[in-house]
Chain A
């Protein structure tokens, strides 16, 4: 129990560190980007037909951009200390409102993708691992490598053409109904499943070739019983740990997939905020995503400890 508390305390400190580093880094990066910020924000607000020097000057005066980066940064950190992420420079809406709306949409999509990938990847990996070197194993290697190698951008378009345009089964893009989930989630899931199938396959092959597995068989357990009692738990730890890592892949994929499918998510929002020099939005989004990773890692830690309690007592 103590170690669990230690884990949480460690992760809390890590969260504070991440907040500081993400805040400073995203601010510095935004400052280092080329182009006049006032012009970029004016272009984002009013569009390319209207942006001109007058509007840029009005934006500069309104936002106090002449005050210099240090003042702006201190202002943002001050707001953060009061748990206030500020307001978007483009829409004028509170950053927190925009993030919750967009993060919600991204999380739903990410969750659907993870669930789908878990239904596809690990079961196939287990099958292949149990018969390592067999025909199925070799076929899976090829299929998984291809899906991992196809850019999500291409995969997404292929799925739209196949399932939405040709077969008319699903909407091509958009957001709102359950059906809209399937294509973007599947695009993400296929890439994730390809990786998790390989990880599961390697872990399974390792366990299946181990003496403990041979012993379990020797004592007369059926294949199914060996797998359930000894196999699953042994491959659990590496697979769950890898699942945590997959969220990094997922964030990368979400950015692309959201843009293709017109999904109102946080990856899409972050790209636009960077493009538009919407500094509070970039900082807020990066912060929430950074803290999200810390939380996720904490959860994975705790789950892995439950699956494999060895080392906890010592």
Chain B
């Protein structure tokens, strides 16, 4: 059989979502000769469609279906209906991501063992480790053509980086460079090198940044083994009396309910939609939702400890010019409890255009304290903080039955409270970030609060013991052998690093496992 596949073809693997997890898994399986139907809630946008305009692009790409929020995190106050800044399109959030591609540190796979018991945290060791993951990281770095790996040079530093680097070196930081980026530093893999355009978050119009939208997805489609159904919004996953999943119900582009039969279902809708789909699939046999005998589905939501530091200087920086996030300080990513918290954080260059700076610098602020900062926009430099946050079982995605989406399905409510460790780490990072800029003459610095989350992790976490999590070390649900989780929601802990490279490495590894088990007749 070649694509397109019949809705009653129960030999196909159905993958829900086409981003870093689902998009890569779809292609990897297709390359191995497995028939795949990928259901994507969004439409298809390619480099020629992307828009160098922050709000217009946001309207084009962002997931804007209703969600609700609760908890003490500031996002719930500032952006109550927008807990995440993620994408609804073929390629998912790989259209929007900045490209930072760094491996977990070995100790981060064993957070519970390394950090010990942390009050209020539901820390757990991953059932896998750095040695297990090393060959999969190698493959992921090759696929994403990451700079500073495989002989690829680093990207050149832009204006924002030069300020950041000079300040970092004055403070004595040594692990400072333009990052390991999934952005071509030379023409390669039929894609151009970075043209220093900025607007990395709005989709790379040159295709220099890796996105599954124009790499893995078309590669998979070219095999004849992958069919991508766009604007297919999944309602629920079906199962039989034996407790195995049998197919997926979804609303098509016209709002009509369709059903695709499946041999295996892989869920990769990001950490809000993935648990939501499992919970919305509750049945008589599984009254708490699919794969939820542990009551862990939706729990342990992590979003990374984040924040930003912007600074004003006497002279222009023009931080928006060039690659948005090609700059990193890694010295603070180590685990050093003498700082007053466990885990570590990375500092990475970041810029926003004027429209988004107005929205995100200090949401809700007004008056001259705020506008005098924006008046110095041209003289601003900026960095983002990304660190390990503590999993907490009460930080969770649940169904909000009071609010329905356009299909009448209960929406996800996202509850998040900062853990004291998160707050201590953020305050440390604000101080260090400001010190970087003060060292090179900043006249004013801004400890900017977290944006709606782009790193959404942990709501279907991986665990050795079935009672501690939702999936095993292959991303296979503990409860249902032919149901897999293939996105960042399977993260046991978040580590300090941007998650995409790890999501991709896990997806390549999962594809290998699924194909092998299918061949062996075990799935």
Do the two chains belong together in a single complex? no
